[in-house]
Structure 1
Amino acid sequence: MIDIILASAAQFTRFEELGLSPNALDLGFFQLKWYSLAYLAGILIGYWYLTKLIKEPGAPLARRHADDMIFYATLGIILGGRLGYVFFYKPEILQNPIEILQVWNGGMSLHGGVLGVVLAIWYISRKEKLIFLRICDYIACVIPFGLLFGRLANFVNGELWGRATDVPWAIIFPMGGEVARHPSQLYEAGLEGLLYFIITSLLFWKTDARYHPGKLVGTGLLVYGLSRFIVEFFRQPDQGLENLSWGLTMGQTLTVPMLLLGIYLVFTAKGRRVRVEPTAGDKSVA
Protein backbone atom coordinates (compact mmCIF):
# COMPACT_ATOMS: atom_id res chain seq x y z
CA MET A 1 0.00 0.00 0.00
CA ILE A 2 2.69 2.50 1.02
CA ASP A 3 4.76 1.58 -2.05
CA ILE A 4 1.82 2.43 -4.29
CA ILE A 5 1.28 5.75 -2.52
CA LEU A 6 4.99 6.56 -2.80
CA ALA A 7 4.97 5.81 -6.50
CA SER A 8 2.04 8.14 -7.14
CA ALA A 9 2.97 10.87 -4.66
CA ALA A 10 3.04 13.49 -7.42
CA GLN A 11 -0.75 13.46 -7.73
CA PHE A 12 -1.30 14.51 -4.11
CA THR A 13 -1.17 17.96 -2.53
CA ARG A 14 2.06 18.88 -0.79
CA PHE A 15 1.68 20.69 2.49
CA GLU A 16 4.08 23.43 1.34
CA GLU A 17 1.69 24.28 -1.51
CA LEU A 18 -0.92 25.39 1.03
CA GLY A 19 1.26 28.36 2.04
CA LEU A 20 0.80 27.76 5.76
CA SER A 21 3.30 28.73 8.44
CA PRO A 22 3.41 27.81 12.14
CA ASN A 23 4.15 31.49 12.84
CA ALA A 24 1.24 33.91 12.94
CA LEU A 25 3.78 36.74 13.33
CA ASP A 26 7.52 36.63 12.71
CA LEU A 27 9.58 39.72 13.54
CA GLY A 28 12.86 37.85 13.57
CA PHE A 29 13.58 38.53 17.23
CA PHE A 30 10.03 37.53 18.16
CA GLN A 31 7.74 34.80 16.83
CA LEU A 32 4.08 34.38 17.67
CA LYS A 33 2.91 30.81 17.03
CA TRP A 34 -0.54 29.86 15.78
CA TYR A 35 -0.46 27.12 18.42
CA SER A 36 -0.16 29.73 21.17
CA LEU A 37 -3.00 31.74 19.64
CA ALA A 38 -5.12 28.59 19.46
CA TYR A 39 -4.79 28.06 23.20
CA LEU A 40 -5.50 31.72 23.89
CA ALA A 41 -8.53 31.81 21.57
CA GLY A 42 -9.93 28.60 23.02
CA ILE A 43 -9.68 29.94 26.57
CA LEU A 44 -11.03 33.44 25.86
CA ILE A 45 -13.90 32.38 23.59
CA GLY A 46 -14.71 29.55 25.99
CA TYR A 47 -14.87 32.07 28.85
CA TRP A 48 -17.11 34.37 26.82
CA TYR A 49 -19.47 31.49 26.03
CA LEU A 50 -19.50 30.42 29.68
CA THR A 51 -20.68 33.90 30.70
CA LYS A 52 -23.59 33.45 28.27
CA LEU A 53 -24.48 30.04 29.70
CA ILE A 54 -24.54 31.17 33.32
CA LYS A 55 -27.02 33.95 32.52
CA GLU A 56 -29.67 31.29 32.06
CA PRO A 57 -31.92 30.45 35.07
CA GLY A 58 -30.55 27.99 37.60
CA ALA A 59 -26.85 28.40 36.76
CA PRO A 60 -24.56 26.54 39.20
CA LEU A 61 -22.04 29.39 39.43
CA ALA A 62 -22.01 33.18 39.34
CA ARG A 63 -19.86 35.52 37.26
CA ARG A 64 -17.32 35.88 40.07
CA HIS A 65 -16.87 32.10 40.10
CA ALA A 66 -16.40 32.04 36.32
CA ASP A 67 -13.68 34.69 36.66
CA ASP A 68 -11.79 32.48 39.13
CA MET A 69 -12.44 29.41 37.04
CA ILE A 70 -10.73 30.83 33.94
CA PHE A 71 -7.50 31.32 35.90
CA TYR A 72 -7.36 27.88 37.50
CA ALA A 73 -8.61 26.10 34.36
CA THR A 74 -5.82 27.74 32.34
CA LEU A 75 -3.25 26.44 34.82
CA GLY A 76 -4.87 23.02 34.65
CA ILE A 77 -4.76 22.96 30.85
CA ILE A 78 -1.09 23.94 30.64
CA LEU A 79 0.28 21.91 33.55
CA GLY A 80 -2.00 18.92 33.07
CA GLY A 81 -1.50 18.90 29.31
CA ARG A 82 2.27 18.97 29.59
CA LEU A 83 2.54 16.42 32.40
CA GLY A 84 0.05 14.16 30.63
CA TYR A 85 2.19 14.25 27.49
CA VAL A 86 5.30 13.35 29.47
CA PHE A 87 3.74 10.46 31.39
CA PHE A 88 1.55 9.03 28.61
CA TYR A 89 3.68 9.58 25.52
CA LYS A 90 7.26 10.63 26.36
CA PRO A 91 8.29 9.19 29.74
CA GLU A 92 11.95 9.40 28.68
CA ILE A 93 11.73 13.16 29.28
CA LEU A 94 11.68 12.35 33.01
CA GLN A 95 15.38 11.51 32.69
CA ASN A 96 15.98 15.22 32.07
CA PRO A 97 13.31 16.98 34.19
CA ILE A 98 14.17 20.45 32.86
CA GLU A 99 12.62 19.42 29.53
CA ILE A 100 9.24 19.11 31.23
CA LEU A 101 9.13 22.90 31.48
CA GLN A 102 10.10 23.43 27.84
CA VAL A 103 6.52 23.63 26.53
CA TRP A 104 7.71 25.75 23.58
CA ASN A 105 9.26 22.59 22.12
CA GLY A 106 5.78 21.13 21.73
CA GLY A 107 4.05 18.21 23.36
CA MET A 108 0.69 18.55 25.10
CA SER A 109 -1.79 15.82 25.97
CA LEU A 110 -5.49 16.59 25.78
CA HIS A 111 -6.22 13.84 28.28
CA GLY A 112 -3.81 15.44 30.73
CA GLY A 113 -5.34 18.85 30.09
CA VAL A 114 -8.80 17.45 30.85
CA LEU A 115 -7.55 16.06 34.16
CA GLY A 116 -6.06 19.47 34.95
CA VAL A 117 -9.38 21.21 34.27
CA VAL A 118 -11.25 18.66 36.41
CA LEU A 119 -8.91 19.41 39.31
CA ALA A 120 -9.51 23.14 38.79
CA ILE A 121 -13.28 22.62 38.90
CA TRP A 122 -12.96 20.45 42.02
CA TYR A 123 -10.91 23.16 43.74
CA ILE A 124 -13.34 25.96 42.89
CA SER A 125 -16.41 23.92 43.82
CA ARG A 126 -14.86 22.90 47.15
CA LYS A 127 -13.65 26.42 47.93
CA GLU A 128 -16.95 28.11 47.04
CA LYS A 129 -19.24 25.24 48.15
CA LEU A 130 -20.66 24.74 44.66
CA ILE A 131 -22.00 21.58 43.03
CA PHE A 132 -19.06 19.94 41.27
CA LEU A 133 -20.97 17.89 38.70
CA ARG A 134 -23.17 20.78 37.57
CA ILE A 135 -20.14 22.99 37.00
CA CYS A 136 -18.61 20.17 34.95
CA ASP A 137 -21.75 20.24 32.79
CA TYR A 138 -21.26 23.91 31.98
CA ILE A 139 -17.52 23.63 31.39
CA ALA A 140 -18.14 20.67 29.07
CA CYS A 141 -20.09 23.02 26.80
CA VAL A 142 -17.14 25.39 26.30
CA ILE A 143 -14.43 22.77 25.75
CA PRO A 144 -15.13 22.35 21.98
CA PHE A 145 -13.61 25.76 21.24
CA GLY A 146 -10.22 24.71 22.54
CA LEU A 147 -10.42 21.37 20.74
CA LEU A 148 -11.33 23.00 17.43
CA PHE A 149 -8.61 25.65 17.49
CA GLY A 150 -6.02 23.23 18.84
CA ARG A 151 -6.57 20.73 16.02
CA LEU A 152 -6.52 23.45 13.40
CA ALA A 153 -3.20 24.64 14.86
CA ASN A 154 -1.88 21.07 14.62
CA PHE A 155 -2.73 21.13 10.92
CA VAL A 156 -1.09 24.51 10.34
CA ASN A 157 2.02 23.19 12.10
CA GLY A 158 2.05 20.14 9.82
CA GLU A 159 2.16 17.84 12.87
CA LEU A 160 0.16 14.88 14.16
CA TRP A 161 -0.64 13.82 10.61
CA GLY A 162 -2.55 10.72 9.60
CA ARG A 163 -1.75 7.30 8.27
CA ALA A 164 -0.74 6.62 4.68
CA THR A 165 -3.66 6.73 2.24
CA ASP A 166 -4.60 7.27 -1.39
CA VAL A 167 -7.81 9.27 -0.83
CA PRO A 168 -8.02 12.31 -3.19
CA TRP A 169 -7.64 14.82 -0.34
CA ALA A 170 -4.48 13.20 1.06
CA ILE A 171 -1.56 15.51 1.84
CA ILE A 172 2.20 14.95 1.86
CA PHE A 173 3.42 16.48 5.12
CA PRO A 174 7.07 17.66 5.38
CA MET A 175 7.83 15.54 8.45
CA GLY A 176 5.87 12.55 7.20
CA GLY A 177 8.18 11.50 4.41
CA GLU A 178 7.23 11.14 0.74
CA VAL A 179 3.95 9.53 1.70
CA ALA A 180 0.45 10.87 1.15
CA ARG A 181 -1.43 10.91 4.45
CA HIS A 182 -4.85 11.57 5.93
CA PRO A 183 -5.22 15.17 7.20
CA SER A 184 -6.48 13.62 10.42
CA GLN A 185 -6.06 16.91 12.29
CA LEU A 186 -9.01 18.24 10.26
CA TYR A 187 -11.05 15.12 10.98
CA GLU A 188 -10.49 15.74 14.68
CA ALA A 189 -11.33 19.42 14.37
CA GLY A 190 -14.63 18.51 12.76
CA LEU A 191 -15.59 15.74 15.17
CA GLU A 192 -14.05 16.85 18.47
CA GLY A 193 -14.71 20.53 17.83
CA LEU A 194 -17.70 21.24 15.58
CA LEU A 195 -19.76 18.08 16.18
CA TYR A 196 -19.10 18.21 19.94
CA PHE A 197 -20.21 21.86 20.05
CA ILE A 198 -23.37 21.26 18.00
CA ILE A 199 -24.51 18.34 20.17
CA THR A 200 -23.84 19.93 23.56
CA SER A 201 -25.26 23.32 22.52
CA LEU A 202 -28.46 21.72 21.27
CA LEU A 203 -28.80 19.82 24.54
CA PHE A 204 -28.16 22.94 26.59
CA TRP A 205 -30.39 25.40 24.71
CA LYS A 206 -33.13 23.10 23.40
CA THR A 207 -33.63 20.60 26.24
CA ASP A 208 -33.58 20.54 30.03
CA ALA A 209 -30.29 18.56 30.08
CA ARG A 210 -28.57 21.19 32.23
CA TYR A 211 -30.97 20.35 35.06
CA HIS A 212 -29.87 16.69 35.00
CA PRO A 213 -26.43 16.82 36.68
CA GLY A 214 -23.89 14.87 34.65
CA LYS A 215 -25.80 14.62 31.37
CA LEU A 216 -23.89 17.33 29.51
CA VAL A 217 -20.42 16.35 30.68
CA GLY A 218 -21.28 12.68 30.09
CA THR A 219 -22.40 13.50 26.56
CA GLY A 220 -19.21 15.46 25.99
CA LEU A 221 -17.10 12.52 27.13
CA LEU A 222 -18.98 10.19 24.79
CA VAL A 223 -18.71 12.49 21.76
CA TYR A 224 -15.01 13.15 22.32
CA GLY A 225 -14.20 9.56 23.23
CA LEU A 226 -15.95 8.07 20.21
CA SER A 227 -14.50 10.72 17.90
CA ARG A 228 -10.95 10.13 19.10
CA PHE A 229 -11.35 6.35 19.05
CA ILE A 230 -12.53 6.44 15.43
CA VAL A 231 -9.97 8.99 14.24
CA GLU A 232 -7.17 6.84 15.65
CA PHE A 233 -7.80 4.48 12.71
CA PHE A 234 -6.77 7.35 10.40
CA ARG A 235 -4.26 9.19 12.61
CA GLN A 236 -0.62 8.09 12.74
CA PRO A 237 -0.01 7.11 16.39
CA ASP A 238 3.17 8.08 18.19
CA GLN A 239 6.07 5.75 17.41
CA GLY A 240 6.01 2.69 19.63
CA LEU A 241 2.40 3.30 20.68
CA GLU A 242 0.71 2.15 17.47
CA ASN A 243 -0.47 -1.28 18.57
CA LEU A 244 -0.14 -2.01 22.26
CA SER A 245 -0.29 -5.57 23.54
CA TRP A 246 -4.07 -5.35 24.01
CA GLY A 247 -4.64 -4.30 20.38
CA LEU A 248 -5.37 -0.60 20.81
CA THR A 249 -3.27 2.53 20.33
CA MET A 250 -2.42 4.69 23.32
CA GLY A 251 -4.94 7.29 22.14
CA GLN A 252 -7.72 4.69 21.99
CA THR A 253 -6.73 3.22 25.33
CA LEU A 254 -7.02 6.60 27.04
CA THR A 255 -10.53 7.09 25.66
CA VAL A 256 -11.90 3.88 27.19
CA PRO A 257 -12.25 5.29 30.75
CA MET A 258 -13.82 8.42 29.26
CA LEU A 259 -16.38 6.37 27.35
CA LEU A 260 -17.28 4.25 30.36
CA LEU A 261 -17.65 7.32 32.59
CA GLY A 262 -19.68 9.09 29.90
CA ILE A 263 -22.09 6.18 29.59
CA TYR A 264 -22.54 6.05 33.36
CA LEU A 265 -23.14 9.80 33.71
CA VAL A 266 -25.65 9.99 30.87
CA PHE A 267 -27.71 6.99 31.93
CA THR A 268 -27.81 7.96 35.61
CA ALA A 269 -28.37 11.70 35.09
CA LYS A 270 -32.16 11.50 35.29
CA GLY A 271 -31.91 10.06 38.79
CA ARG A 272 -29.93 13.10 39.91
CA ARG A 273 -32.65 15.51 38.72
CA VAL A 274 -33.38 17.83 41.66
CA ARG A 275 -34.87 21.26 42.13
CA VAL A 276 -32.17 23.66 41.01
CA GLU A 277 -31.58 26.76 43.07
CA PRO A 278 -29.68 29.59 41.36
CA THR A 279 -26.26 30.67 42.55
CA ALA A 280 -27.11 34.28 41.72
CA GLY A 281 -30.57 35.88 41.87
CA ASP A 282 -33.72 34.47 43.41
CA LYS A 283 -35.39 32.53 40.61
CA SER A 284 -35.64 28.80 41.22
CA VAL A 285 -35.94 26.29 38.43
CA ALA A 286 -38.15 23.28 39.04
Structure 2
Amino acid sequence: MPLSFPLIDPVAISIGPFAIRWYALAYVAGLLGGWFYAKRLAAKAELWGDLKQPKPLDVDDLIVWVALGVVLGGRIGYVLFYNLGSYLSHPLEIFAIWRGGMSFHGGFLGSVLAIVLFSRSRGLNPLAMLDMASVVTPIGLFFGRIANFINGELWGRPAPDFPYAVVFPHAGPEPRHPSQLYEAFGEGLILFLVMAVAARSFGFRRPGLLGGIFVLGYAVARIVCEFFREPDAQLGFLFGSSVQALSGGITMGMLLSIPMALIGAGLIVMAMRGYTRPSKTAEAA
Protein backbone atom coordinates (compact mmCIF):
# COMPACT_ATOMS: atom_id res chain seq x y z
CA MET A 1 0.00 0.00 0.00
CA PRO A 2 1.37 3.45 -0.90
CA LEU A 3 1.76 6.01 1.85
CA SER A 4 -0.77 8.80 2.13
CA PHE A 5 0.58 12.29 1.65
CA PRO A 6 0.59 14.16 4.98
CA LEU A 7 -1.91 16.98 4.65
CA ILE A 8 0.21 19.89 5.86
CA ASP A 9 -1.10 23.36 5.08
CA PRO A 10 1.55 25.11 2.94
CA VAL A 11 0.67 28.30 4.86
CA ALA A 12 2.42 28.14 8.24
CA ILE A 13 0.96 31.33 9.73
CA SER A 14 -2.03 33.32 8.54
CA ILE A 15 -3.26 36.59 10.04
CA GLY A 16 -6.05 38.07 7.96
CA PRO A 17 -4.73 38.66 4.41
CA PHE A 18 -1.15 38.21 5.63
CA ALA A 19 0.25 34.70 5.17
CA ILE A 20 3.67 33.16 5.78
CA ARG A 21 4.34 29.96 3.85
CA TRP A 22 6.58 27.09 4.87
CA TYR A 23 8.57 27.68 1.68
CA ALA A 24 9.45 31.21 2.83
CA LEU A 25 10.30 29.93 6.30
CA ALA A 26 12.62 27.36 4.71
CA TYR A 27 14.58 30.16 3.04
CA VAL A 28 14.73 32.05 6.33
CA ALA A 29 15.85 28.95 8.25
CA GLY A 30 18.53 28.20 5.65
CA LEU A 31 19.88 31.76 5.69
CA LEU A 32 19.85 32.02 9.49
CA GLY A 33 21.41 28.60 9.93
CA GLY A 34 24.07 29.42 7.36
CA TRP A 35 24.73 32.80 8.98
CA PHE A 36 25.20 31.24 12.44
CA TYR A 37 27.53 28.51 11.13
CA ALA A 38 29.47 30.97 8.96
CA LYS A 39 30.15 33.23 11.95
CA ARG A 40 31.65 30.27 13.81
CA LEU A 41 33.83 29.37 10.82
CA ALA A 42 34.95 32.96 10.33
CA ALA A 43 36.02 33.19 13.98
CA LYS A 44 38.43 30.22 13.79
CA ALA A 45 41.81 31.65 12.84
CA GLU A 46 43.32 28.20 12.30
CA LEU A 47 41.03 27.63 9.32
CA TRP A 48 42.31 30.70 7.46
CA GLY A 49 46.07 30.40 7.84
CA ASP A 50 47.72 33.53 6.48
CA LEU A 51 44.67 34.58 4.43
CA LYS A 52 42.75 37.65 5.58
CA GLN A 53 40.14 36.50 8.07
CA PRO A 54 36.62 37.99 7.75
CA LYS A 55 35.30 39.96 10.70
CA PRO A 56 31.95 39.15 12.35
CA LEU A 57 30.48 42.28 10.75
CA ASP A 58 31.61 41.03 7.33
CA VAL A 59 29.55 37.86 7.80
CA ASP A 60 26.53 39.91 8.91
CA ASP A 61 26.72 42.03 5.77
CA LEU A 62 27.49 39.08 3.51
CA ILE A 63 24.23 37.33 4.39
CA VAL A 64 22.26 40.25 2.91
CA TRP A 65 24.24 40.09 -0.33
CA VAL A 66 23.80 36.31 -0.54
CA ALA A 67 20.05 36.52 0.16
CA LEU A 68 19.60 38.94 -2.75
CA GLY A 69 21.80 36.81 -5.00
CA VAL A 70 19.87 33.62 -4.18
CA VAL A 71 16.41 35.13 -4.70
CA LEU A 72 17.22 37.11 -7.85
CA GLY A 73 19.42 34.42 -9.38
CA GLY A 74 17.00 31.64 -8.48
CA ARG A 75 14.07 33.41 -10.08
CA ILE A 76 15.95 34.51 -13.20
CA GLY A 77 17.37 31.02 -13.58
CA TYR A 78 13.92 29.43 -13.39
CA VAL A 79 12.55 31.86 -15.97
CA LEU A 80 15.43 31.24 -18.39
CA PHE A 81 16.02 27.51 -17.91
CA TYR A 82 12.58 26.09 -17.20
CA ASN A 83 9.68 28.20 -18.48
CA LEU A 84 10.91 31.00 -20.73
CA GLY A 85 8.10 30.76 -23.29
CA SER A 86 5.36 31.10 -20.71
CA TYR A 87 6.98 34.08 -19.02
CA LEU A 88 7.57 35.83 -22.33
CA SER A 89 3.83 35.54 -22.95
CA HIS A 90 2.99 36.80 -19.44
CA PRO A 91 6.01 38.93 -18.35
CA LEU A 92 4.36 40.24 -15.17
CA GLU A 93 4.31 36.67 -13.84
CA ILE A 94 8.10 36.88 -13.54
CA PHE A 95 7.64 39.00 -10.42
CA ALA A 96 5.05 36.69 -8.79
CA ILE A 97 7.66 34.76 -6.80
CA TRP A 98 5.10 33.85 -4.13
CA ARG A 99 3.62 31.39 -6.63
CA GLY A 100 6.83 29.37 -6.68
CA GLY A 101 9.39 28.80 -9.38
CA MET A 102 13.03 28.95 -8.26
CA SER A 103 16.08 27.32 -9.81
CA PHE A 104 18.95 26.11 -7.64
CA HIS A 105 21.43 26.54 -10.49
CA GLY A 106 20.30 30.14 -11.00
CA GLY A 107 20.40 30.84 -7.26
CA PHE A 108 23.87 29.28 -7.12
CA LEU A 109 25.19 31.59 -9.84
CA GLY A 110 23.52 34.60 -8.22
CA SER A 111 25.05 33.84 -4.82
CA VAL A 112 28.50 33.24 -6.36
CA LEU A 113 28.37 36.65 -8.06
CA ALA A 114 27.21 38.31 -4.82
CA ILE A 115 30.03 36.69 -2.79
CA VAL A 116 32.72 37.63 -5.32
CA LEU A 117 31.57 41.27 -5.49
CA PHE A 118 31.29 41.49 -1.69
CA SER A 119 34.73 39.94 -1.14
CA ARG A 120 36.40 42.35 -3.52
CA SER A 121 34.73 45.29 -1.80
CA ARG A 122 36.15 44.18 1.58
CA GLY A 123 39.59 43.04 0.42
CA LEU A 124 38.85 39.37 1.20
CA ASN A 125 39.89 36.39 -0.90
CA PRO A 126 36.84 35.60 -3.10
CA LEU A 127 37.61 31.88 -3.42
CA ALA A 128 38.11 31.48 0.33
CA MET A 129 34.80 33.23 0.98
CA LEU A 130 33.12 30.95 -1.55
CA ASP A 131 34.65 28.03 0.33
CA MET A 132 33.06 29.24 3.56
CA ALA A 133 29.70 29.66 1.84
CA SER A 134 29.98 26.15 0.40
CA VAL A 135 30.29 24.66 3.88
CA VAL A 136 27.03 26.24 5.08
CA THR A 137 24.91 26.04 1.90
CA PRO A 138 23.67 22.44 2.47
CA ILE A 139 21.69 23.76 5.45
CA GLY A 140 19.52 25.80 3.11
CA LEU A 141 19.26 22.96 0.61
CA PHE A 142 17.97 20.62 3.31
CA PHE A 143 15.22 22.98 4.49
CA GLY A 144 14.31 23.93 0.93
CA ARG A 145 13.71 20.32 -0.12
CA ILE A 146 11.66 19.65 3.00
CA ALA A 147 9.52 22.66 2.05
CA ASN A 148 9.12 21.22 -1.47
CA PHE A 149 7.72 18.05 0.10
CA ILE A 150 5.33 19.99 2.34
CA ASN A 151 4.11 21.91 -0.71
CA GLY A 152 3.55 18.64 -2.58
CA GLU A 153 5.65 19.88 -5.51
CA LEU A 154 8.61 18.53 -7.50
CA TRP A 155 7.40 15.00 -6.83
CA GLY A 156 9.10 11.84 -8.00
CA ARG A 157 8.55 9.44 -10.87
CA PRO A 158 5.90 6.69 -10.63
CA ALA A 159 6.95 3.85 -8.30
CA PRO A 160 4.05 1.37 -8.04
CA ASP A 161 6.19 -1.34 -6.41
CA PHE A 162 8.15 0.83 -3.99
CA PRO A 163 6.89 0.26 -0.42
CA TYR A 164 7.44 3.88 0.64
CA ALA A 165 5.93 5.53 -2.43
CA VAL A 166 3.59 8.47 -1.82
CA VAL A 167 0.40 9.54 -3.59
CA PHE A 168 0.79 13.29 -4.00
CA PRO A 169 -2.45 15.33 -4.12
CA HIS A 170 -1.71 17.09 -7.42
CA ALA A 171 0.17 14.29 -9.21
CA GLY A 172 -2.65 11.91 -10.02
CA PRO A 173 -3.48 8.56 -8.43
CA GLU A 174 -0.08 6.92 -9.07
CA PRO A 175 2.22 6.32 -6.08
CA ARG A 176 5.51 8.13 -6.63
CA HIS A 177 9.00 8.38 -5.19
CA PRO A 178 9.24 11.09 -2.49
CA SER A 179 12.17 12.53 -4.39
CA GLN A 180 12.13 15.76 -2.39
CA LEU A 181 13.17 13.76 0.67
CA TYR A 182 15.88 11.98 -1.32
CA GLU A 183 17.26 15.39 -2.28
CA ALA A 184 17.02 16.67 1.29
CA PHE A 185 19.08 13.66 2.34
CA GLY A 186 21.64 13.71 -0.50
CA GLU A 187 22.03 17.41 -1.30
CA GLY A 188 21.38 18.48 2.27
CA LEU A 189 22.36 16.11 5.07
CA ILE A 190 25.07 14.01 3.38
CA LEU A 191 26.65 17.00 1.65
CA PHE A 192 26.58 18.95 4.92
CA LEU A 193 28.55 16.19 6.67
CA VAL A 194 31.02 15.94 3.78
CA MET A 195 31.62 19.68 3.82
CA ALA A 196 31.97 19.80 7.63
CA VAL A 197 34.65 17.10 7.52
CA ALA A 198 36.41 18.82 4.61
CA ALA A 199 36.39 22.18 6.41
CA ARG A 200 37.89 20.64 9.51
CA SER A 201 40.54 18.78 7.48
CA PHE A 202 41.62 21.48 5.01
CA GLY A 203 40.28 24.79 6.31
CA PHE A 204 40.26 27.63 3.80
CA ARG A 205 44.02 27.65 3.28
CA ARG A 206 43.69 26.24 -0.25
CA PRO A 207 41.24 28.72 -1.82
CA GLY A 208 38.68 27.01 -4.03
CA LEU A 209 39.17 23.49 -2.67
CA LEU A 210 36.05 23.36 -0.51
CA GLY A 211 34.06 25.16 -3.18
CA GLY A 212 35.12 22.55 -5.70
CA ILE A 213 34.15 19.71 -3.34
CA PHE A 214 30.72 21.27 -2.82
CA VAL A 215 30.05 21.91 -6.51
CA LEU A 216 31.11 18.41 -7.50
CA GLY A 217 29.26 16.83 -4.59
CA TYR A 218 26.05 18.71 -5.31
CA ALA A 219 26.19 17.87 -9.01
CA VAL A 220 26.61 14.16 -8.31
CA ALA A 221 23.83 14.13 -5.70
CA ARG A 222 21.48 16.08 -7.99
CA ILE A 223 22.10 13.81 -10.99
CA VAL A 224 21.45 10.70 -8.89
CA CYS A 225 18.25 12.17 -7.41
CA GLU A 226 17.04 13.26 -10.86
CA PHE A 227 16.63 9.58 -11.79
CA PHE A 228 13.83 9.45 -9.20
CA ARG A 229 12.34 12.90 -9.84
CA GLU A 230 9.63 13.65 -12.38
CA PRO A 231 10.88 16.25 -14.87
CA ASP A 232 9.12 19.60 -15.09
CA ALA A 233 5.90 19.20 -17.06
CA GLN A 234 6.68 22.01 -19.51
CA LEU A 235 10.05 20.43 -20.41
CA GLY A 236 9.68 16.68 -19.99
CA PHE A 237 12.65 14.46 -20.79
CA LEU A 238 15.28 15.92 -23.10
CA PHE A 239 16.71 14.56 -26.36
CA GLY A 240 13.84 12.29 -27.34
CA SER A 241 12.41 8.91 -26.49
CA SER A 242 15.43 6.89 -27.67
CA VAL A 243 17.72 8.54 -25.12
CA GLN A 244 15.02 8.15 -22.47
CA ALA A 245 14.81 4.42 -23.14
CA LEU A 246 18.56 4.00 -22.77
CA SER A 247 19.14 6.20 -19.74
CA GLY A 248 15.88 6.36 -17.85
CA GLY A 249 15.45 9.93 -19.04
CA ILE A 250 17.73 12.97 -19.26
CA THR A 251 16.33 16.01 -17.46
CA MET A 252 17.22 19.69 -17.37
CA GLY A 253 18.49 19.25 -13.80
CA MET A 254 20.97 16.62 -15.01
CA LEU A 255 22.06 18.73 -17.95
CA LEU A 256 22.76 21.78 -15.80
CA SER A 257 24.65 19.67 -13.26
CA ILE A 258 27.17 18.27 -15.76
CA PRO A 259 29.13 21.55 -16.18
CA MET A 260 28.94 22.01 -12.40
CA ALA A 261 30.65 18.64 -11.90
CA LEU A 262 33.39 19.54 -14.39
CA ILE A 263 33.96 22.96 -12.80
CA GLY A 264 34.05 21.41 -9.32
CA ALA A 265 36.59 18.79 -10.35
CA GLY A 266 38.71 21.46 -12.04
CA LEU A 267 38.66 23.64 -8.92
CA ILE A 268 39.76 20.73 -6.74
CA VAL A 269 42.73 19.96 -9.03
CA MET A 270 43.77 23.62 -9.27
CA ALA A 271 43.52 24.17 -5.51
CA MET A 272 45.46 21.01 -4.63
CA ARG A 273 48.24 22.03 -7.03
CA GLY A 274 48.41 25.51 -5.49
CA TYR A 275 47.26 27.39 -8.59
CA THR A 276 44.57 29.30 -6.66
CA ARG A 277 46.90 30.38 -3.91
CA PRO A 278 47.39 34.19 -4.03
CA SER A 279 50.91 35.33 -4.74
CA LYS A 280 52.99 36.96 -2.02
CA THR A 281 52.72 40.27 -3.88
CA ALA A 282 48.93 40.08 -3.92
CA GLU A 283 48.81 39.17 -0.23
CA ALA A 284 51.07 42.08 0.67
CA ALA A 285 48.89 44.48 -1.32
Residue in 2 that maps onto 1:139: 133
How far apart are 1:98 and its partner, in Å?
1.2
Q: Please report how far the alpha carbon of residue 129 of structure 1 lies from its aligned counterpart in structure 2 after TM superposition.
A: 2.2
Partner of residue 65 from structure 2, selected from 72, 82, 87: 72
Cα offset, 1:245, TM superposition: 1.8
How many residue pairs get aligned? The number is 264
Please tell me whether the aligned partners of residues 211 and 276 of structure 1 are also in contact (alpha carbons under 8 angstroms).
no
Q: Are 1:89 and 2:76 an aligned pair?
A: no
The amino acid of 1:168's aligned partner reads: P
Aligned to 1:282: none
Q: How does 1:245-284 map to 2 (within 5 A)?
A: 245=239, 247=243, 248-272=250-274, 274=277
2:29 to 41, 57, 64: 41
For 2:277 and 2:142, the matched residues in 1 are separated by 33
Q: Quick one: distance in 2 between partners of 1:209 and 1:216?
A: 8
Match of 1:120 in 2: 114
Q: Which runs of 5+ in 1 are unaligned?
A: 1-10, 278-286
After superposition, give the CA deviation of every residue in 1:136-172 in whole Å (9 maximum; x if it has no partner). Answer: 1000011011100000000001110000002100000
- Counterparts of 1:68 and 1:156 in 2: how far apart (Å)? 31
- Contact 1:60–1:134 (Cα < 8 Å) also in 2: no
Establish whether residue 13 from structure 1 lines up as the match of residue 6 from structure 2: no
Structure 2 CA distance for aligned equivalents of residues 249 and 14 of structure 1 = 27
| Equivalent residues of 2:10, 2:22 under 8 A apart | yes
Residue of structure 1 equivalent to 2:246: none
Normalising by structure 1, we get a TM-score of 0.88
Unaligned runs of 5+ residues in structure 2 are 244-249, 281-285
> For the aligned residues, what is the CA RMSD?
1.8
Provide Cα deviations, 1:156-200, integer angstroms capped at 9, x if missing partner: 011100000021000000110000000000000000000110000
User: Is residue 147 of structure 2 the alignment partner of residue 153 of structure 1?
Assistant: yes
What is the aligned partner in structure 2 of residue 281 from structure 1? none
The whole-number CA distance in structure 2 between the counterparts of 1:179 and 1:60 is 53
1:91-129: per-residue Cα shift (whole Å, max 9, x none)? 021222211110011100011100110110111122122
Equivalent residues of 2:152, 2:170 under 8 A apart: yes
Q: How far does the alpha carbon of each residue in 1:32-61 deviate from its partner, in whole angstroms, 9 at most, with x for none?
A: 100000000100110010000001112642
1:222 and 2:212 aligned: no
1:100 aligns with 2:84: no
The offset of 1:130, in angstroms, is: 1.8
Is the CA contact 1:134–1:213 (under 8 Å) kept in the aligned structure 2? yes
Identity of aligned residues (%): 43
The structural deviation recorded for 1:65 is 1.7
Q: Distance in 2 between matches of 1:78 and 1:67?
A: 18
Q: Does 1:167 align with 2:162?
A: yes
Provide the C-alpha distance between the structure 2 equivalents of 1:60 and 1:108, rounded to a whole number of angstroms. 33
CA distance 1:214–1:101, shift in 2 (3 Å): same
- 2:173 maps to a residue whose letter is E
Tell me what 2:206 maps to.
Answer: 212
8 Å CA contact retained: 2:83, 2:234: no
How far apart in 2 are the matches of 1:224 and 1:266? 14
Q: Does 1:56 align with 2:34?
A: no
Residue 25, structure 1, aligned to residue 13, structure 2: yes
Quick one: distance in 1 between partners of 2:215 and 2:128? 15
